[in-house]
Amino acid sequence: MNKKHLWGVAVVLLISGIVLYVDLRSTPIAQLEQATRNINVIALILVFGLMLLSYVFEASILAVLSKRKNEPKRSEWSFFRIPLIQALFNAITPMSTGGQPSQLAAMVQMGIEGGRATSLLLMKFIIYQIVVFLAYVTTIITGFHLVATKFAGLAIFIAIGFLIHVGSIIFLLAILFAYNWTKNAANWIMNLLAKFIKQDRVSVWRQNTLEKIDTFYGESQKLKKEKKKLIVCGILTVLQLLCFYSIPYMTLVTLNVPADWASVTQMNIMIIMFMAIIPIPGASGGAEYSFQTLFSTFISSNGTLIVGMFLWRFVTYFFGMILGIFGWILKPKKVVSPSNN
């Protein structure tokens, strides 16, 4: 971690601290005490368990994708630390831009060659995006009206986040099923940009874009040939997201707040869509605001709402940061594949 990342940590802690201070200042201590007395300890343990299971399923996806004949056995820790490190760098970089590079660095540390590590992460990304896209579409169809009627301002930002994700999925699908057309479209866009921006800069953009299109197309073709891996990793991704998306519901159970899983999970997915467009490390400020705005429909007591927001934010965000620091420090033994020698 460099100074830039430390600044990211500082920004996150500062904004989260300010939000918590404002909430606590306006909330009677008696309400907070009542909320904490109502905490169900077993359910609280299950909340942390769901987050850990989410990391386990994500690590298992990489283990399945990396498995091949004559591949040396690597420790469970070497795979488990990858999603932890991703959680750390997603949390401290704007728009979660540090997650992918940090995973790549972690895989190289465990002995996987850089080019192959990039391919594995790209395969994982394809599967993840498809599953998340299906979750987003289902949620928008079945639950968006709840937000649109009660929280019109927030609904606009959720819709923007959804459209951004749809745009990225359309681009990925275009590469998969209209490879030549996508490359021609990319070149046309670059030619248009060259009329307004320096040629040298556009040339770099063109080269990087076309290389990424070629790499993505190549990896998608490999993935098509490994249908068994595709199915297994698809199931693991569904389980990973089910664990992660269920954390707010289990948080309400922890606070003995009555709610149904489907409604709470729909709200949570829409919060995640909103957080995707906040250009601050960890979407700090916006995440807390959106949670309080949406979950006020389930929680009548302001004290319980604040405690619930703090538990949710700690488990899904700060817990991963803490584990990620240990993951970054405790490096596994480097096991080099025969092909790397």
- Kindly report, residue by residue over 242-281, the tens digit of the pLDDT: 999 999 899 999 988 888 898 888 888 887 776 665 554 5
Q: What is the DSSP string of 32-45?
A: HHHHHHT--HHHHH
As given in the structure block, the two tokens for residue 109 are 């540390």
pTM summary value: 0.80
Q: Residue 196 has what pLDDT?
A: 82
Please give the average per-residue pLDDT across 71-90, as a whole number.
88
d(CA 258, CA 198): 59
Q: Residue 278 has what pLDDT?
A: 53
Contact 85, 102 (CB under 8 A): yes
d(CA 78, CA 98): 19
d(CA 332, CA 76): 10
Q: Residue 282 has what pLDDT?
A: 45
Instruction: Give burial (CB, 10 Å; 0-12/13-18/19+) of 245.
Output: buried
330 sits in which H/E element: none
What percent of the chain has a predicted confidence (pLDDT) above 90?
17
Q: How far is CA 162 from CA 81, 136, 184, 245, 277, in A?
A: 30, 7, 26, 16, 10
**Stronger pLDDT, 281 or 200, i.e. the higher one:** 200
Q: Residue 341 has what pLDDT?
A: 42
Domain boundaries, the chain: 3-340
Q: Residue 275 has what pLDDT?
A: 64
d(CA 142, CA 135): 11
What pLDDT, in 10s, does the model give residues 206-249? 888 888 888 778 777 777 777 888 899 999 999 999 999 999 89
pLDDT of residue 6 exceeding 60, the answer is no
- Measure CA 264 to chain center: 18
Q: Could you count the other beta carbons within 10 Å of the beta carbon of residue 53? A: 17
Q: Residue 186 has what pLDDT?
A: 87
Ramachandran quadrant class, 333 (left: phi over 0; alpha: psi -120 to 50; beta: rest):
beta
d(CA 210, CA 183): 7
pLDDT of residue 141 exceeding 80, the answer is yes
What pLDDT, in 10s, does the model give residues 328-337? 888 887 777 6
